Every structure is written in structure tokens, then in C-alpha cells.
């Protein structure tokens, strides 16, 4: 009878924790933006009857700062930011604030408060700038900035895909699905699709440079120690390029 060597069973791999470095302990900018936006919406509702009588024929959303080309062409450049605080209905603000909490509460922790606020504002600026260039009428809503957050989350997982593995691939798939669904919904004539696309592009530009890029610096038995390899000037470069992108779109309208 032949004797065959018996393969020894290998020990089960011990699961190890991966702790991502945190720039912020809590997403307080996200909660602050949520609170300010809700407060402005309440003011909108309280002001409708007052301004409706005081300014007959005036659209109150335009009065409060909607992205409307005519006054922007006359120098009211704050209208590239004020639309982020304005919403047309409970459903509109409810959907946008849910998205803000969903994406903001995740992104702000690794990005930090300053980078997250820059991402939000520059995405909103880029979205309203492209809308200014290619759309007529007026537009309102935080969705220009929110598309930037969606883009930034996708970039975060893409830049760290080697480390996060299947989790990153699953997250990127979910983000792509969300983008496709929202872009299809944006085909409705009542939705400012150009604003969404501009916010998406602004978020992509900023996040490509400013997002954390993690590397394993210590391989302990129980966990992996990571370090963010991004440099301080990456944030400055991302912000500058995104601002120049928005500025170019605005300049094209004045030609």
C-alpha cells in the first residue's frame, strides 16, 4: 500500500482591522449646512405672503438669490452661491438634505472640515457656472454641490481601491448607479441638468487632487496602520483648478 503525504491544513487567516486616518471627529460642517439650509427654507415660507404683496409680479425665489442670468450679467455674482440655500418644495429640500447627510457625514471625516467646505462651495459654484452658460430661466437647490459630493466619494474609493479592495469596487458600483439614475431623472425639463453636470465636474476636479490617498506604513499582527500620502498643496491646487474651471465657464458667457 502506497503512503501519500497528508497535506497539513493551513491556519485560518486572522481578520485585521484597517483604521483610516481621520481629519475630523464629527461632520459638523455637514450639520451646519443642513441647519442653515433648513433655516433659509423656513424664512422663504414665512416671507412669501409679505413679499408677494410688497413686490407684485416679483418671483420671490429670484428675489432671494436664484441663479438667474439677467441680474448676474449686471454684476450680481453672489447668485452663483445663494441658490445652494434655496428650495422650491418640501420634497425638493427633503431629498437634497437626505443626500447631504448621506454623503457629507462620510466624506467630511477623511477630508476634514476645510476641504469638505471647499468641495461643497466649489462644486456649487461650478454647477451654477455651467448652468449660467448653457441654461435659460433660473435654477435653485443644493443639488449642484451634492453632485460634487457624489463625484468626490467616487474619487475617494477609486484613489484607494488597491487598499480597500472589493469594498471599494462595490462602493464605486453603487455610486455609478446613483449617478446614472439621477442623470436620467434630470432629463425632466423642470430639472437643471447642466447644473448637475457642472457640479459633478467641479467635484471631480477638486477631489482628484485633494482626496486622501492612503498607504500602509506599518503591518501589525492585529491591524494595518495607514498614512495619508496627499500633500498640503494638493488641496490648494485642486481648489485653484476648480475655481479656474468655474471662472472660465462664467467668462465664456460674457464673450
Per-residue model confidence as pLDDT tens digits over 42-98 = 988 887 655 444 444 446 788 889 999 999 999 999 999 999 999 989 999 999 999
- CATH number reported for the structural domain that contains residue 92 in this entry: 1.20.1540.10
Give the predicted TM-score (pTM) of the model: 0.88
Distance CA 141, CA 65 (A): 11
**E-only strand ranges, 81-182:** 138-139
The total of structural domains in the chain comes to 1
Report the run of H or E that residue 19 belongs to, with start and end.
Answer: strand 17-19
Instruction: Determine which of 18-27, 77-86, 244-253 has the lowest per-residue pLDDT on average.
Output: 18-27
Per-residue model confidence as pLDDT tens digits over 151-186 = 999 999 999 998 888 989 999 999 999 999 888 887
With respect to residue 12, please indicate whether it lies within any of the assigned structural domains. no
With respect to residue 240, please indicate whether it lies within any of the assigned structural domains. yes
With respect to residue 221, please indicate whether it lies within any of the assigned structural domains. yes
Report the run of H or E that residue 215 belongs to, with start and end.
Answer: strand 214-219
The domain of 94 spans: 21-254
Give 66's contacts (C-beta < 8 A, 6+ positions apart). Answer: 59, 79, 82, 83, 86, 138, 139, 140
With respect to residue 94, please indicate whether it lies within any of the assigned structural domains. yes
Active-site positions? 143, 196
Amino acid at each position: 500500500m502506497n503512503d501519500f503525504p497528508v497535506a497539513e491544513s493551513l491556519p485560518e487567516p486572522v481578520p485585521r482591522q484597517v483604521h483610516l486616518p481621520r481629519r475630523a471627529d464629527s461632520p459638523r460642517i455637514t450639520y451646519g449646512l443642513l441647519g442653515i439650509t433648513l433655516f433659509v427654507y423656513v424664512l422663504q415660507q414665512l416671507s412669501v405672503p409679505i413679499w408677494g404683496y410688497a413686490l407684485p409680479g416679483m418671483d420671490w425665489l429670484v428675489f432671494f438669490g436664484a441663479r438667474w442670468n439677467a441680474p448676474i450679467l449686471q454684476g450680481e455674482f453672489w447668485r452663483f452661491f445663494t441658490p445652494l440655500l434655496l428650495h422650491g418644495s418640501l420634497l425638493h429640500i427633503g431629498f437634497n438634505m437626505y443626500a447631504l447627510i448621506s454623503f457629507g457625514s462620510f466624506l467630511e471625516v477623511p477630508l476634514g472640515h476645510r476641504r469638505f467646505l471647499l468641495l461643497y462651495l466649489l462644486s456649487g459654484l461650478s454647477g451654477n457656472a455651467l448652468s449660467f452658460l448653457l441654461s435659460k430661466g433660473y435654477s435653485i437647490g443644493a443639488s449642484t454641490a451634492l453632485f460634487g459630493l457624489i463625484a468626490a466619494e467616487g474619487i475617494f474609493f477609486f484613489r484607494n481601491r488597491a487598499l480597500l479592495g472589493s469594498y471599494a469596487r462595490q462602493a464605486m458600483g453603487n455610486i455609478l448607479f446613483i449617478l446614472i439614475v439621477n442623470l436620467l431623472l434630470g432629463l425632466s425639463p423642470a430639472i437643471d441638468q447642466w447644473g448637475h453636470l457642472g457640479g459633478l465636474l467641479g467635484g471631480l476636479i477638486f477631489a482628484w487632487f485633494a482626496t486622501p490617498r492612503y498607504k500602509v506604513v506599518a503591518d501589525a499582527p492585529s491591524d494595518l496602520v495607514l498614512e495619508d500620502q496627499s500633500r498640503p498643496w494638493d488641496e490648494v491646487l485642486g481648489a485653484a483648478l476648480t475655481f479656474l474651471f468655474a471662472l472660465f465657464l462664467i467668462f465664456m458667457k460674457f464673450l
